[in-house]
Amino acid sequence: MIGADGVHSRTRAMVFGPEEEFTTYLGGYMSFYTVPIPAGAERDWLAMHVVPRASLGIRPDYDPATSKAIITLRTDSNPALRGDIPAQHKLIRDMLADAGWVTPEALAHLETTPDFYFDELVRVDMPSLSKGRVTLLGDSGFCGSPMTGMGTAMAIVGAYLLAGEIATTPTDLPAALTRYEAQVTPFLHKAKELPGGGIQMMLPTSKFGLAVMQRIGKLVTTKLFRPIMMKMLNQTDDYTLPTY
């Protein structure tokens, strides 16, 4: 059995134990949903607006008439938020109140969007990905949080390695699962790293901290620092996939 049922995996809970044993809270929440392209927003670029403890991003969508709103909130964990959509909406509105830019336009669609997503930012670390004939794949076994930008890559690489190892020894599943974990672990260690210090650096708690972050941002995108920054953002480039 392959448990590929997300960061709050029921398969993992049934076979390996409670979620709390394997997850680390990373200091905040993220929300994604579709909005009409706000007036003044870039149509072809991801634009970010940051205020103390919160940010709103607007990025292009497949539909030229819409954009994706990306909201990040730096706050303490609140288990009561899970499954309580009105409370999630309230937290977003409270933390982005008076944020300016296109925030009012994005929040106007909060309650009516058909694809509202909201979840805590957590990292999943398993002592082992497999137990008996059960193994984990994707966020259920190795979530790094959306802040890494590597969730899809980890899931695809993991699926490729798992399929390849099972196909190599289809009559010896334990050996295949052992090799799968040995192959995927080095990639995961690199992919789960948070570039730039994580949410503490991304979302300062004060206007002074925000000004410092903006100055650092301008510095690291200069020609001198650009190669270093690209290396930080492409931490898995030196990983070589095996051929099956």
Predicted confidence (pLDDT) per residue in 193-221, tens digit: 876 667 877 887 888 877 787 777 676 66
| Residue 185 identity | T
Q: Is 241 within the bounds of a domain?
A: no
- Percent of the chain with pLDDT strictly greater than 90: 53
Last residue of some domain: 89, 122, 155?
122
Residue 129 in this model has a pLDDT that exceeds 80: yes
Q: Is 244 within the bounds of a domain?
A: no
Last residue of some domain: 122, 142, 169?
122
Instruction: Kindly report each contact of residues 77-80 with a partner whose C-beta sits within 8 Å and lies 24 or more positions away, as own/partner.
Output: 77/25, 77/120
Name the least confident of 51-55, 63-67, 179-183.
63-67
Name the least confident of 48-52, 125-129, 178-182, 183-187.
48-52
Name the least confident of 5-14, 21-30, 140-149.
140-149
CA distance 233 to 225: 13
Q: Is 101 within the bounds of a domain?
A: yes
**162: three-class secondary structure by DSSP:** helix
Do 133 and 232 lie in a common domain?
yes
Last residue of some domain: 70, 88, 122?
122
Do 35 and 108 lie in a common domain?
yes
Task: Assign residue 39 a region (left: φ > 0; alpha: ψ between -120 and 50; beta: otherwise).
Answer: beta
Do 39 and 79 lie in a common domain?
yes
Q: pLDDT-based confidence at 87, cuts 50/70/90?
A: very high
Residue 111 in this model has a pLDDT that exceeds 80: yes
Which of these, 46, 53, 30, lies nearest to 202 by C-alpha position? 53
Do 98 and 146 lie in a common domain?
no
Longest dimension (CA), the chain: 61
